[in-house]
Chains A and B, each alone.
Chain A
Amino acid sequence: MPKLFEMPKFGEGIFTLELELEKTELSDPGRVKYAGRLLIPGDLPMPLLAFSRVSAAREGEEPIVSDDLILPIGVPKVGIEWEWWKPPRPVGSIPLGEFSGELNFEEVGEYEIHAEAYPTPLRMLPTLASTEILSFLVGKPGIRFLLDRPTVTPSTVVKPFTDITISCPVTSDCDKNYDITVKCIVYEGSFLPGHGAKLAEYTSVVRSVSPGQTINFDFPRRTITGTIDRRDIEVQVFIGEAKVKSSEWDDVYYVTTEVPTMIAVESLALS
């Protein structure tokens, strides 16, 4: 009996994924549109839903992803092919699975972008196909900063109304000197992924940093009570208005929920 259809196996290069970017670089942080398509063998008869993920990452960092892009691929067209000298046979063709979206580059840097297509939204099965890696530059080349976890003195477990200093180390891995400002944002922590309410934001003065140099940006703060004892900190580095680097750390310090009362008598007056 002749085999009508060859069922594909995942990850064997049966599908082809293509990705095109609206631009090849950005002078400032911003959004870039992309469009892509999943090419499907013409004789694949099954209707297919696929899911794509486009990732853009700087070296050694978490990628920016377009996470929820779905590829509904059209219902296959099935028909009968008949040539007079051959017996009739069923044929199928499936439209191209197209997808589009945009990536939001909030920070300057050199990114590598690629796309993958998955048969399930949870990406538990091997990919159907993936693209080549594209290089994408936001801002000027040679700008790279490294951030370490902030430290808190005098203690990482303090009571409310305690004066602390948050030190944020910033290391330049750039190819020349840059004048930078650093923002330190304090959030309440959360039992869920991410952080809770924003509590405060501090901005440093402009400082010049040379290649390889590490500067500790210190931000004094008086702790306050919150709905939870954990505190998360985000550090952002700016060159002018352009954000060039940011990172966030969970549970950098804790503020006990026990609230102290402080009363101090200054003087007495008798009458």
Chain B
Amino acid sequence: MVEPRIVMLVTKVPCNSITKKADQTLNVRVNYTYQGPAITGRLGAVVTQKTVYSEFDEIGSTRKEVYVNLPASETPVPSYTDITWLPLAGCEPKSGYGIKVYALDLDGKPEWGCLNVLTVTGVAIEPDLEITSLSVS
């Protein structure tokens, strides 16, 4: 017998690609529409990577959450919220990272994300030899 379980679905949304060094932080602007009563909710963002088990496997050290004051609206009203300074130090230098955002304190825990949008590069100093002059003797 297969035990029933709830599978959270991540809705894929458009997103630009970016390259960051591991000692930098990532800013995520979330463009959304809201309809409902005036409440204070939370929006969270986390860097993800694709694994065998999950398309959006979260890298917990990169998680950031912010509070959002949502005004009452009877129709969907567009707005945006910036989630800033996601630390990338826990990400090993490679490409193919994704981003997932989620809402808390609302109905359920809706999630949105996009794959292959973040490349993290290492911070090690690469050999950089520059010949400034030659002297012949």
Contacts and interface: CB of A to CB of B under 8 A. Distances in A.
A132 B36 CA distance: 60
Interface in B17-72: 17-18, 26-37, 39, 41, 70
B33 A263 contact: yes
B32 A264 contact: yes
A67 to B, nearest CB: 40
B115 to A, nearest CB: 12
B14 A264 contact: no
Q: How large is the interface on B (under 10, 10 to 19, 20 to 34, 35 or more residues)?
A: 35 or more
B77 to A, nearest CB: 11
Contact of A263 (B28, B32, B99): B32
A266 B33 CA distance: 7
Given A261-B41, A264-B76, A270 B99 contact: yes
A261 B36 contact: yes
Nearest to A161: B35
Interface of A: 160-161, 222, 224-225, 259-271
Minimum-distance CB pairs A-B, first 4: A261-B36, A265-B112, A268-B15, A269-B29
19 contacts: A161-B35, A222-B74, A259-B36, A261-B34, A261-B41, A263-B33, A263-B36, A263-B106, A264-B33, A264-B34, A264-B110, A265-B32, A265-B110, A265-B112, A266-B33, A268-B99, A269-B16, A270-B17, A270-B29
